[in-house]
Structure 1
Amino acid sequence: MTLRLGDVAPDFTQQSSAGEISFHAWAGESWVVLFSHPADFTPVCTTELGKTARLAEEFKKRNVKPLAVSVDTLESHVAWINDINETQNTSVNFPILADADRKVAELYDMIHPNSLANLTVRSVFVIDPAKKIRLTLTYPASTGRNFNEILRVIDSLQLTDHHKVATPADWVDGDDVVIIPSLQDADEIAQRFPKGYKAIRPYLRLTPQPNR
């Protein structure tokens, strides 16, 4: 199944390390980062889930729930969590879906036979409170994810959902943003951006981040 930006994230019910999860109900009014890893007890995956656990407060302040998934069994996840906690000096505080029947992997097209024949690739789905898919990323098995980039994109999405701006290349929270080209009414611009803006081109207008 090919999922595209703006699609409703498929619902499912699956067992996890934190009990049975009915996805849409579990997500509630939160954002979700649903991410797959190839296999338990592997080095890169261990560092990734450890990093996710250490970022708990960063996810919480953005109203984000992380949710990991692989085709390993529940018993494997439970045993692996002990290794993650010990080797990564953390405490896993989010569910890991046990997708041994590949239900979630198939719904979200996480198995790419030309990359990994029987395992989930490193997919990432950022899903908003309306259950819409807002970001998709796929990494090769040998490359661990940059979770700071995932947080950066969530910051951008949450900002641009509420203000008529977009974020330029390499933007991070607190940097200047750009006023969207479709906003041309001078009175509305003055109201929305009281700190003013710098017009480099008619279509490229930089302004301080409006929620700061």
Structure 2
Amino acid sequence: MTLRLGDTAPDFTQDSTDGPIHFHEWIGDSWAVLFSHPKDFTPVCTTELGLVSRLKPEFEKRNVKVIALSVDDVASHKGWAGDIEETQGAALNFPILADPDRKVSDLYDMIHPNANNTLTVRSVFVIDPNKKLRLTLTYPASTGRNFDELLRVIDSLQLTDYHSVATPANWTDGGDCVIVPSLQDPEVLKEKFPKGYTVLKPYLRMTPQPNR
């Protein structure tokens, strides 16, 4: 199944380390990050799950729930959680979906046969409260993900949902933003951007971050 930005994230019910997860119900009015792992008891995944456990307060500040997936079963996940806490100094504090039947992996196209026909690649899906898919990232199994980048993108998505701006290259929270080209009325611009803006080109106008 090919998923594209703006699609409704497929719903499912699947067991997890926190019990059965009814995905859309679990998301509720929050944003969500679903990210997959090739297999339990693997080194790169262990570092990722430990890091996300430490970063959970940052996700919560942004009204984001995180949920992982691995193709192994719940008993295996729970055994792995002990290793994660021991080696990463952080107890697992979010659910890991069990997907031995590959149901969720197939729904979200997480298995890429030319890379490996049984294990998931490192997929990332950011889903908004309307259950719409807002970001997809796919990493090879050998490369750990950059979760600072993921938080940066979530900051951008949430900012641009509520203000008439886009974020430029390498933007981070607090940086100047781009006014969307569709906004042209001078009075509307004055009202929306009381901090002012700089015109570099008619289509390239920079303004301080509106919600700062």
Normalized against structure 1, the TM-score is what?
A: 0.99
Per-residue deviation at 1:116? 1.5
Q: Which runs of 5+ in 1 are unaligned?
A: none
Q: 1:47, 1:179 → 2: CA distance?
A: 38
**1:88-120 CA distance string (max 9 Å, x none):** 000111000000001100000000010112001
Q: 1:56, 1:136 → 2: CA distance?
A: 20
Match of 1:44 in 2: 44
What is the letter of the counterpart of residue 139 of structure 2?
A: Y
Cα RMSD, aligned residues only: 0.4
What is the letter of the counterpart of residue 122 of structure 1?
A: R
Match of 2:115 in 1: 115
What is the letter of the counterpart of residue 157 of structure 1?
A: L
What is the letter of the counterpart of residue 196 of structure 1?
A: G
Q: 1:25, 1:108 → 2: CA distance?
A: 18
Match of 1:190 in 2: 190
Q: 2:91, 2:165 → 1: CA distance?
A: 37
**What SS is found at the alignment partner of 1:169?**
coil
What is the letter of the counterpart of residue 172 of structure 1?
A: T
Show the 5 A alignment for 1:21-32: 21-32=21-32
Q: 2:182, 2:19 → 1: CA distance?
A: 47
Give identity over the alignment, percent: 71
Normalized against structure 2, the TM-score is what?
A: 0.99
Q: 1:69, 1:56 → 2: CA distance?
A: 16
Q: 2:197, 2:72 → 1: CA distance?
A: 52
**What SS is found at the alignment partner of 1:55?**
helix
The reply to whether residue 151 of structure 1 matches residue 151 of structure 2 is yes
Match of 1:15 in 2: 15
Match of 1:160 in 2: 160
Q: 1:144, 1:23 → 2: CA distance?
A: 25
What is the letter of the counterpart of residue 21 of structure 1?
A: I
The reply to whether residue 64 of structure 1 matches residue 64 of structure 2 is yes
**1:113-163 CA distance string (max 9 Å, x none):** 101120011000000000000000000011000000000000000000000
Moved over 6 A (4+): none
Aligned residues: 212
Q: 1:91, 1:30 → 2: CA distance?
A: 23
Q: 1:116, 1:159 → 2: CA distance?
A: 37
Q: 1:148, 1:58 → 2: CA distance?
A: 10
